Structure 1
Amino acid sequence: MPATTEPLRIAVLVGSTREGRFAPVVTKWLSGHLGQRDDMRADVVDLAETPLPTVFPAFGQQPPPGTEEALALVTPRLAAADAFVLVTPEYNHSYPASLKNAIDWHNEQWHGKPIGFVSYGGLSGGLRAVEHLRVVMAELNAMTIRNTVSFHDAWSRFDADGSVKDPAADTAAKALLDQLAWWAHALRDARSVRPYAA
């Protein structure tokens, strides 16, 4: 079966939902890079705008009211994605509970797909959050790519217009997206030949 040339569908999952969060600045910058590419189409899934239930039903029990409606705003978008970029801060040496919740509400949507990371925070730049996410996503049969973009002391790295002050960040974003594209094409082609064996 020939490989498809359709643009890759990239779901950008915005992990922070805190009031006053810095995530929109980082996400807008990343979206600018995605918008410059002919080989990718971005879908920003902001968990602050599409909150998911935080109570999981016990085995054999019905989910809480509103669960189906909430999942309908997120699940089809994750299922349609060829690849993901998780935008995450670091909270207490790890990633936000809202992001873990979104991950746990899903399973096969992650299977056999690549995931890139853009992290931000203080001294660590969110890298400890990324390391925790790598282990979690491996359990869900996803492929995390090596390249990341990390903003240390993120609040000082952007100007008032939301542009990065250091052009090295733009170079890093291109490297991340190039690597993500390679894996996304390879895995999309593979899934078109045979379903992923979870």
Structure 2
Amino acid sequence: MSLIFKRSFHKTLGLNRGPLGFQGWYPKDHKPGPYPKTEEERRAAAIKYGLRPEDYKPLDQSDYLRSSGDYPNLDAEGAKANKYRTVNFDVRDPFENYTTTLFRRNFNEPVPREFVQMGPERITYTGLEDFQELNWKNILLNVVVFGAIFAFAFWTSQSNPDRFRYKNPAMPKEYPYDYYRAWPWQDPLKYPITNYTFEPEDK
């Protein structure tokens, strides 16, 4: 009975975690750290990513498009010539017992920064360099298309007919009697309204 009473008021019941607590998986644990500045930091980063210290080389800080802290540059030799010289999906043994058979990758295996672009659904790896640079043509095309859409939506959503004259201006409807003055119990015929007349104006 005491065990049931103690379990009912245990803090894990309020935290909705069950009877056991575990560390779990968090994306912040896989976030690259700061750029290594000393030899000790460089060795620690190499061990972190499962590489030998002599093979570890972080991404260049001057490359603002690809720099990712202490993440290793796994395609350093082919970055300029062939752009990607990594062991990609096509050249891996299809009969190997991989941890992740979909991407033919093993657990804790370091992958290049552009590994997402080298998936099995790609027919060829040509044209990947377009993803690494700012394509101002596409940016300009997006600005023109979405700018035209927003401009048209703004133009057609104006309630004032005289704003852009996209429809005929209209005056308020004219009534022969003042219904607002006669409301609620009086007769509106007692309060006629002269909106216009054909009689000559008195001078």
Larger RCO, structure (CA 8 Å, separation 6 or more): 1
Using the size of structure 2 for normalisation, the TM-score is 0.22
Which protein has the larger Cα radius of gyration, Structure 1 or Structure 2?
2
Higher helix share: 1
Higher strand share: 1
